[in-house]
Amino acid sequence: MTEKIDRAVIQKVIKSVPMLSASANQLLQTTTDPDHDLREIVHIVKTDATLTARVLKVVNSAAFGLINEITSLDRAISYLGERLIVGIAIGDCASQLFDKELKGYEGEHGDLWRHDLRTAIASREVVAQSDLDISPDLAFTAGLLHDIGKALISDYLQGTAGEVLEKIENDEISDYLSAEEELIGFDHPRAGYELALTWKLPEAIAEVIRFHHTPAEAREEFQELVYAVHLGDNIAMMGGCGTGADSMRYKLDADYSRYITLQPNALASIMLTVNEEFVKLERSFAEAGDSNR
Amino acid sequence: MGQIILGVGDYGASNRPGEEVKTFALGSCVSVVLLDPKTRTVGMVHVALPESAINKAKSVEKPGYFADTGIPALLAAMAKFGCNPKGKGMVVKLCGGANVMDTNDTFQIGKRNALSIKKVLWKYGMGAVAEDLGGNFSRTVSVSVDTGEIILNSPGRPNWKL
Ligand SMILES: [Fe+2]
Ligand SMILES: [Fe+2]
């Protein structure tokens, strides 16, 4: 029998992980503002020596195949694009969460990071290839953080996967989201949302974290973005990149069509691009990092 | 024991005793396994998408990505092991092709992959003797050169055979 958890328990878990660094926080705030420019990003990164070093390491990793080494931060940032800068910053300071082995989902070490990275790429691609009036970079960042709540509740779900799958197959539970709620009284979007509040993440990102499986419930002004990440998440899982036993066990909300027009061929091209991008980015992050992602 | 690991859009074959051909985490992708009893060769292609028409350049660079170019590429690779280039006498098994829950038509890539693969096989006069397709879960698939048996696994479930 698993025990139920509540907000207080989640808060305690959140307190046990390091806060976002000041620079990561500033990057998130700045890039969410539609009127920012690249100079502000450069300025923030410059104030953080560790981040600067990491950015240069990533851009010069073999995965990008640059012939001449990039030594200037300005050039590195404009080459990588702001979404990767944000990705590097968040990936580094939340590595304790991203690198967590999701035992409760019978996931393997690195699965959460890979799933989040793939969702980020796919969410961005969905926005870039449709005529949504939102920033593709914001979709990337939101995608990167969408499942962060799994790292918070995974331990409480240990030993439940087999039973959950059986219940889903027998139609006793409708999907993995309901299973989390039924088993421990808290699902991963809500847990992630608690973290978003504590970390003071931008509202748009908090909304994505909270409603990425139930986009119709998101506030109207954020719905396009939430639906884009909803699709990005599904595309990542279809690409074989999930976080364990829960992969593909969530419902697609076909009402995305209210905002996003997607023909089967367009989806196929998106999946192709996502796979290529993912292979490259995963490699560049791995080469530049010391974690075993 | 030797292993040949295939990524998305890769194909490969082996006739070395003790070896296995394996691919990780098929979501909507489908793994086509071909077994040639005559030469004791096993081959596999990890197909991601139904039609190469969406990106011809990619299908030249990585034919295994698509159903319509992946199967001919695998047959050509197996012909180097002395197998019949048209697949005559081969046994076919299919795994993967999962879909997300409550999927709509557009997102049924898994189903369309499987259909497209069957159409291509049919042109060669081939059909699957065993399949483990569909559902809402991802599969890791490995096939043994010695027995031609496929072992499947998916997180949270006991392994199963095909
Ligand atoms: Fe999720
Ligand atoms: Fe997800």
The whole-number pLDDT of residue A287 equals: 78
pLDDT at residue A260 greater than cutoff 80 = yes
What is the value of pTM for the model shown? 0.94
Q: How confident is the model over B25-69, as pLDDT tens digits? A: 999 999 999 999 999 999 999 999 999 999 999 999 999 999 999
CB contact under 8 A, A240 and B100: no
Chain A nearest-CA distance from B46, in A, is 12
Sign of CA dihedral A288, A291, B3, B5: negative
pLDDT at residue A1, rounded to an integer: 57
Distance from the CA of B79 to the center of ligand 1, in angstroms?
A: 44
Contact residues on chain A for B136, CB-CB shorter than 8 A:
168, 248-249
Residue A203 is part of which domain span?
97-293
Q: For the residues of chain B, what is the DSSP string, one character each? A: --EEEE-TT-EEEE--TT-EEEEEEESS-EEEEEEETTTTEEEEEEE-BS-GGG-HHHHHH-GGGBHHHHHHHHHHHHHTTT--TT-TT-EEEEEE----BT--STTTHHHHHHHHHHHHHHHTT--EEEEEE-SSS-EEEEEETTT--EEEE-TTS--EE-
* B51: CATH: 3.30.1330.200
Domain count of the fold of chain B: 1
Q: Cβ of B138 and A248 within 8 Å?
A: yes
Whether chain A has a CB inside 8 Å of the CB on B54: the answer is yes
Domain identity same for A79 and A137: no
Instruction: Give the domain extent around B103.
Output: 3-161
Q: Are residues A118 and A162 in the same domain?
A: yes
pLDDT at residue A292 in the model = 40
A137 located within any domain: yes
Task: Tell whether B57 lies on the interface with A, counting CB pairs under 8 A.
Answer: no
Q: Do A245 and B138 touch (CB under 8 A)?
A: no
Nearest CA in chain A to B140: A240
Task: Assess if residue A3 is contained within a domain.
Answer: no
Q: How remote is the CA of residue A237 from the centroid of ligand 2, in Å?
A: 7
CA of B4 to the centre of ligand 1 (A): 32
pLDDT at residue number A35: 85
How much of chain A, in percent, has pLDDT values that exceed 70? Answer: 98
What distance in Å separates residue B124's CA from the closest CA in chain A? 25
Q: Are the beta carbons of A106 and B156 separated by less than 8 Å?
A: yes
Question: What is the Å distance from ligand 2's center to B128 Cα?
Answer: 33
* B110 vs A: CB within 8 A: yes
**A64 shares its domain with A196:** no
Mean pLDDT score of chain A = 92
Residues A256 and A160 grouped into a single domain: yes
Q: Do A147 and A36 fall within a single domain?
A: no
Residues A234 and A104 in one domain: yes
Q: How many domains does chain A have?
A: 2
A87 with A124, same domain?
no
Number of A–B residue contacts, CB under 8 Å: 112
Chain B: closest CA distance from residue A55 (Å): 28
Residue B138 forms contact with A (CB below 8 Å): yes
Question: Looking at residue B84, what is its pLDDT?
Answer: 94
Count CA atoms closer than 13 A to A74's CA, side-chain side. 2
Query: What is the reported pLDDT for A111?
Result: 93
A13-42 confidence digits (pLDDT tens):
999 998 889 999 999 999 888 888 888 999
Same domain assignment for residues A81 and A103: no
Give the pLDDT mean for A202-212. 96
Residue A7 has pLDDT above 80, yes or no: yes
Residue of A133, A142, A33, A44 lying closest to A85 (CA atoms): A44
Q: What is the DSSP string of chain A?
A: -PPP--HHHHHHHHHTSPPPPHHHHHHHHHHHSTT--HHHHHHHHHT-HHHHHHHHHHHTSGGG--SSPP--HHHHHHHH-HHHHHHHHHHHHTHHHHT---GGGTPPTTHHHHHHHHHHHHHHHHHHTTT-SS-HHHHHHHHHHTTTHHHHHGGGGTT-HHHHHHHHHTTSSSSHHHHHHHHHS--HHHHHHHHHHHTT--HHHHHHHHHTT-GGGS-GGGHHHHHHHHHHHHHHHHTT--SSTTTT-SB--GGGGGT----HHHHHHHHHHHHHHHHHHHHHHHHH-SS--
| Residue A268 to residue B155, Cβ atoms within 8 A | no
Quote the minimal CA–CA distance from A35 to chain B in Å. 35
User: CA of A166: which chain B residue's CA is closest?
Assistant: B157
Establish if A262 belongs to a structural domain: yes
Asked if residue A59 and residue A159 are part of one domain, the reply reads: no
Among A29, A64, A93, the domain boundary falls at: A93
How much is the mean pLDDT over chain B? 95
Does this complex have an ipTM over 0.90?
yes
The CATH number for A151's domain is 1.10.3210.10
Q: Is the residue at A130 inside a domain?
A: yes
pLDDT for the residue A18: 87
Closest-CA residue of A relative to B24 is A240
Q: Is residue A12 part of a domain?
A: no
**Residue to test with chain A: of B5, B8, B112, most A Cβ within 10 A:** B8
Q: Which of A107, A248, A253 is facing B27, going by the closest CB pair?
A: A248
At residue B122 the predicted structure's pLDDT band, cuts being 50, 70 and 90, is very high
A65 and A141 belong to one structural domain:
no
Contacts of residue A107 in chain B, CB cutoff 8 Å? 155
Considering the domain boundaries, does residue A254 fall inside one?
Answer: yes
Give just the sign of the alpha carbon dihedral A240, A243, A245, A248: negative
Residue A104 and residue A261: Cα distance in Å, rounded?
36
Per-residue confidence band for A293, with pLDDT thresholds at 50, 70 and 90: very low
pLDDT at A291: 47
- The arithmetic mean of pLDDT across residues A111-120, rounded, is 94
A2, A110, A248, A153: which is closest to B157 by C-alpha? A248
How far apart are the CA of B112 and the nearest CA of chain A, in angstroms?
10
What confidence score (pLDDT) does residue A37 get?
Answer: 86
- Ligand 2 geometric centre to CA of A115 (Å): 7
C-alpha dist (Å) from residue A288 to A53, A56, A57: 10, 9, 5
The answer, yes or no, to whether residue A224 has pLDDT greater than 50, is yes
Whether residues A127 and A71 fall in one domain: no
Q: Are residues A145 and A244 in the same domain?
A: yes
